[in-house]
Amino acid sequence: MRSLKLALRQLKYNERAFRRNPAAAFFTIGFPLIFLVILNVIFGNRTIDLGDRVISGATFYIPAIVTLTVVNSCYTSVAMSWVYDRDSGLLKRIRGAPLPAWAFLLGRITYVVLLMVVLATIVVVFGRLFYDVAIPGATMPAVLVSLAIGAFTFCALALALASFVPNSDAAPAVVNGTILPLLFISEVFIPPDAGTPDWVEKVSLVFPVQHLSKALQTGFNPLETGAGFEPLHLGVISAWGIAGLILTLRFSSWEPRV
């Protein structure tokens, strides 16, 4: 019970640090919204007339931006901050402090996931207010499950990647180099109807970003008549998450690289 209280205290500390850095908070919140606006400007916010209802074309951009939000929050942010804290000696000091290592990690990961949920909610509400985007109803449980599995996977992969980043100077290049190409080929920055070559589609299906994007596309699709779950895509995402967890447990270090 005491360790859980310490983890909660770590969560509160991260939240307070976020609020006390208004510039970082502003761009963290504004980043996905900027991309949503850019997608609508470049590819157009067309409407789809179904006779009995009209659907905003921006509805199909929301899953892409939510995917971007998950990746930025749970992968990019976690990997970079972990490498920085490791090389600065913070993680080593934590290991020698009364705060259990797992409580520190739980508090940090919980904060990141909660921030991701808040950002995803802001994106959906923004889309609803400014682009008349349809908000999922019956498929909302599928969206939440996809977000949960995606958060677990990308946090695990972030910690695994951090184990192999040699130093903090290399962190931005390594982290961005491993994720930006996938965002471009995985229907995040480029819509699925943009004429992507078949071989690019096949390559992207090896990695979890494409599968998370497709799972969320189904969950946000207002024409979906089922529950909106994508077992195949969620299974691939989970497999990557388990692999990332195994690598993290095997290679992760709290000691600075000298």
Summarize pLDDT for 82-124 with one digit per residue, the tens: 999 999 998 999 888 887 888 889 999 999 999 999 999 999 9
Over residues 127-169, the pLDDT tens digits come to 889 888 888 888 999 999 999 999 999 999 999 999 999 999 9
Q: What token pair was written down for 17?
A: 């640090």
Task: State whether residue 52 is helix, strand or coil.
Answer: coil
Token pair 């677990």 is at which residue? 152
Distance CA 183, CA 206 (A): 13
Token pair 């659907």 is at which residue? 55
Give, to the nearest 10 degrees, the angle between helix 77-87 and helix 101-131.
150
Judged against a pLDDT cut of 70, whether residue 52 lies above it is answered with: no
Judged against a pLDDT cut of 60, whether residue 179 lies above it is answered with: yes
Ordered by start, the domain boundaries in the chain are 2-251
Distance CA 51, CA 255 (A): 62
